Amino acid sequence: METLRLILSPDFLLRNSVYTSVLVGFSCPLVGVFLVMRRLVFMGVALPQISSTGVAIALSVPLWLGVKLSSHPSESAHMLAFIGSMTFSLAAILALAFMERHGRGQPEGRLGTAYVVAASLSILLLSKNPYGEIGWLDMLKGEVITISNFDLVLTAATLTLVLATLGLFHKELLLVSFDRPMAITLRKNVVFWDVLLYLLIGLTVSMAVLSVGPLIAFGFLLIPALTAHMFARNMRQFTILASLCGGAMAFLGFWVAYALDLPVGPTDVVLLGGIYAAGWLTAKLFPEGSK
Amino acid sequence: MNDALITLDNLSIGYNGQPVLSGISLSIGRDRFTAILGANGSGKSTLLKTLLGLLPPVAGRIDTTQSPTGARLVFGYVPQSIQFDPIYLLTGFDVALMGTYGRVRPCRFVPSTERAFTRECLHAAGAEELAPKRFSDLSSGQKQRVLIARALATRPDVLVLDEPTAGVDAEATHTVLEFISRTREERQITVLLVTHDFAAIRHYAQQVLWLHQGKVLQGAPDELLNSERIAEIFGIGIG
């Protein structure tokens, strides 16, 4: 309990890390719900990794051009990383969604290949990057330690924008996802709503990857939504349960990791996995309690 | 025949620029019950999707008159119920409410008047008790009723139904067709219904479009669906 009191204290040294983890924990499941409903779970796994490759490439560009960055992750480096992450996330999600709709072959194969190549490429690039070795490599492994006020504000602002957009356009995004032909007959611009949803997913993934790394990002995108789906009775419950599960697990994960001196990212994801397994078992043993 | 609501002028339909049916020229009458008949693969669903704007025509034109209010025609589409993914945790009411989304602008909540109208449509379709139930848990026939309610909630000029009686027994088929026929009369809307059930539809349809061997035959059910004509079409083909 002493650890909990310390973490909740406003003077806690790593308070920005706690706030960011919880913000990501609450927000990622909200777009994760759409990934689960659209059966794009594999995309939820591949996207954060591709996004982190965007970070690695963006941070390598100054090196390739002979421009010197400061030795610690700075605001300019963070912005550069954000641009790289966002560009790669969006390009990947649009390309993968296009291939999903029009491509031949196995979508799982494409996503698996994209995932493993992106993961290896980002590690290779950052291992040859002096700035990467200092902080970014840790971030990509899921070490949520050094989060500046600037990072926290950027994360909060981005995720608020995503949340507001999801709330404002929920009925259009739901209609286009559930029944595309119906949306067309109602003269909805389905391409616009699809692109908006992909933009929100890309933005959330980029922000989450930059704040907490790809490991936690894909953990929070998918596992809370998959867990909530076992118990929710309607869409409102599904969304709220997934978000609450993500936020609560983010806080609990930080607490456990701090108390036991463990890396935060893997702790969060293992806890999420435990909750999913417990949920699955409960739903099997007490089917009347689940939906 | 009443005046034409939809006119197809030398229309070719198909996928990726490859025509399935070509040279279709016909009219669909206002406020009439039109059945589109044909065997599997004859192009019924392709024609329906082209009329709804889900597929672009390969060639030719579709001319539609405007609704009485001067707006573009509103289609109330009832797809086959098997196409919906059960992963969506939607109730019957949630699904029916989607019919009102064409009138509610983005960023706005669905107003209480539209919600009340949705309940009326569910009542009219005999699906009131299905409103709180999970849509994916409903039987095929129950889903069909909710989807008809959703189509009515669009306040349609044309009610378009894609094989609403597929997988339904004879008694239920007549109940569904009776309901659609009655709804058409009460609401004065045009009905366009795809089916391959020749026997059932002849008592309800006022106009038949029969897709057979790449051609479209048009006529009244009595002309086209009598035993001599059917034998002639199947026996010697169409000249």
* A105-131 average pLDDT score: 80
Q: Which domain does B116 fall in, by range?
A: 85-155
Judge whether residue B159 has pLDDT over 60.
Answer: yes
Interatomic CA distance for residues A89 and A198, integer angstroms: 9
CB–CB contact A291 B85 (8 Å): no
Work out the average pLDDT over A159-173. Answer: 93
Task: Say yes or no to pLDDT of A16 above 90.
Answer: no
For the stretch B86-109, pLDDT in tens is 999 999 999 999 999 999 999 899
Q: Examine the domain organization and report whether B180 and B209 are in the same domain.
A: yes
Residue B99: inside a domain: yes
Question: Contact at 8 Å (CB) between B4 and B64?
Answer: no
Query: Is residue B8 scored above 50 in pLDDT?
Result: yes
Nearest CA in chain B to A168: B107
Higher pLDDT among residues A66 and A22, named by residue: A22
Query: What is the average per-residue pLDDT within B205-219?
Result: 86
Instruction: Identify which of A98, A88, A174 has the alpha carbon closest to the alpha carbon of residue B94.
Output: A174
Query: How much is the mean pLDDT over chain A?
Result: 84
- Of the candidates A29, A30, A32, A25, the one whose C-alpha atom is nearest the C-alpha of residue A250 is A25
| A122-131, A229-238, B86-95, B187-196: least confident range | A122-131
Stretch A28-35: mean pLDDT, rounded? 93
Strand pairing class (B33-38; B207-212): parallel
Residue (of A47, A16, A70) closest to A218 by Cα position: A47
Task: Please give the tally of structural domains in chain B.
Answer: 2
Q: Is B91 exposed, middle or buried (0-12, 13-18, 19+ CB in 10 A)?
A: buried
Asked whether residue B92 falls in the same domain as residue B123, the answer is yes
If one compares A98 and A169, the residue with the highest pLDDT of the two is A169
| pLDDT of amino acid A139 | 59
Of A100-114, B127-141, B192-206, the one with minimum mean pLDDT is A100-114
Is residue B91 located within the same domain as residue B35?
no
Subunit contact B89:A187, Cβ cutoff 8 A: no
Asked, for residue B234, whether it belongs to a domain, the answer is yes
Are B77 and A182 in contact (CB < 8 Å)?
Answer: yes
DSSP H or E stretch at residue A146: none
Residue matched to tokens 């890309």: A202
Q: Are residues B90 and B132 in the same domain?
A: yes
- Dist CA A26 CA A33 (whole Å): 12
Confidence of residue B5 (pLDDT cuts 50, 70, 90): confident
Q: What is the pLDDT of residues A252-279, one digit of tens each?
A: 998 998 889 888 888 999 999 999 999 9
Letter for the amino acid at A83? I
Find which of A179, A238, A291 to mutate to test the B interface (most B CBs within 10 Å of its CB).
Answer: A179
For residues B135 and B34, membership in a common domain is answered with no
Q: How confident is residue B3, by pLDDT bands cut at 50, 70 and 90?
A: confident
pLDDT score recorded for residue B230? 75
Is B137 in the same domain as B187? no
pLDDT-based confidence at residue B239 (cuts at 50, 70, 90) = very low
* Predicted-complex ipTM score: 0.86
Out of A247-251, A286-290, B227-231, pick the least confident.
A286-290
**DSSP state letters, B181-235:** HHHHHHHT-EEEEEES-HHHHTTT-SEEEEEETTEEEEE-HHHHSSHHHHHHHHH
Crossing angle of the two packed helices A264-285 and A235-260, in degrees rounded to 10: 130
Per-residue pLDDT, A225:
95
Q: Does residue B79 lie in a domain region?
A: no
- Identify the structural domains of chain A with CATH numbers, from first to last: 14-285 (1.10.3470.10)
Domain closes at, from B114, B131, B155: B155
Distance from CA of B47 to the nearest CA of A (A): 14
pLDDT of residue A51: 85
Q: Report CB contact under 8 Å: B52, A184.
A: yes
Asked if B173 and B114 sit in the same domain, the reply is no
Looking at residue B198, what is its pLDDT?
Answer: 78
Mean pLDDT, range B174-202, rounded to an integer: 86
Quick one: pLDDT at residue B212?
83
In chain B, residues with a C-beta closer than 8 Å to the C-beta of A229 are 87, 89
Residue range B118-136: average pLDDT?
A: 93
CATH number at residue B67: 3.40.50.300
pLDDT of residue A131: 63
Are both B118 and B224 inside the same structural domain? no
Residues of chain B found within 8 Å of residue A181, distances taken between Cβ atoms: 49, 52, 54, 77, 79
Q: Choose the weakest-confidence range: A87-91, B109-113, B231-235.
A: B231-235
Q: Quick one: pLDDT at residue A284?
A: 87
Q: Look at residue B220 in the predicted model and tell me its pLDDT.
A: 86
In a domain, B223, yes or no: yes
Higher pLDDT, A6 or B66: A6
Report whether pLDDT(B237) > 70.
Answer: no
Q: Are B69 and B35 found together in one domain?
A: yes
Position A37 confidence tier, pLDDT thresholds 50, 70, 90: very high
Q: Tell me the average pLDDT across A240-259.
A: 93
- A234/B89 CB distance under 8 A: yes
From residue A72, alpha-carbon distances to A75, A76, A139 in Å are 10, 11, 13
A174-202 tens-digit pLDDT = 999 999 999 999 999 998 998 899 889 88
Say yes or no: B177 and B211 in one domain. yes
Domain boundary pick from B155, B189, B209: B155
Instruction: Quickly state the pLDDT bin for B1 (edges 50, 70, 90).
Output: very low
pTM of this prediction?
A: 0.84
For the stretch A50-104, pLDDT in tens is 888 888 888 788 778 877 666 555 667 777 888 888 888 888 888 877 776 666 6
Does residue B232 lie within any of the structural domains? yes
pLDDT band, very low/low/confident/very high, at A213 (cuts 50, 70, 90): confident
CA distance to partner chain A, nearest, from residue B231 (Å): 37
Task: State whether B65 and B94 are in the same domain.
Answer: no
